[in-house]
Amino acid sequence: MSWNYRVLRHAEKPEAPGDGDWFAIHEVFYDEHGMPRSCSADPIAPGGETPGELRSDLRMMMSAFDKPALDYKLFEDLSREAGDDD
């Protein structure tokens, strides 16, 4: 399974109507056909054990802006579908 960072669009929160959609970077995991199958539940913060590793992580995150944003709801729906198989 491969992964990368992607920008995900989150829908307006029911408890904050009028705030609109918001965006965050998540880890997205792909199946053997390159289709997105899951994502990190929470947005990801950059990190590393050295300043160089932090810089590298930030560069990987910046590459997320080279691809279209995905809807977070897609992964909620995939999770529900997977649960239906149980």
The CA distance from 59 to 54, in Å, is: 9
What's the DSSP call for residue 48? Answer: -
The CA distance from 10 to 15, in Å, is: 14
| pTM, full prediction | 0.81
pLDDT at 85: 47
Task: Read off the amino acid at residue 33.
Answer: H
pLDDT digit string, tens, across residues 9-59: 998 766 666 678 999 999 999 999 999 999 999 999 999 999 999 999 999
Show me where the domains of the chain are located. Answer: 2-84
pLDDT at 77: 74
User: Is the Cα torsion angle 59, 49, 37, 16 positive or negative in sign?
Assistant: negative
Confidence of residue 82 (pLDDT cuts 50, 70, 90): low
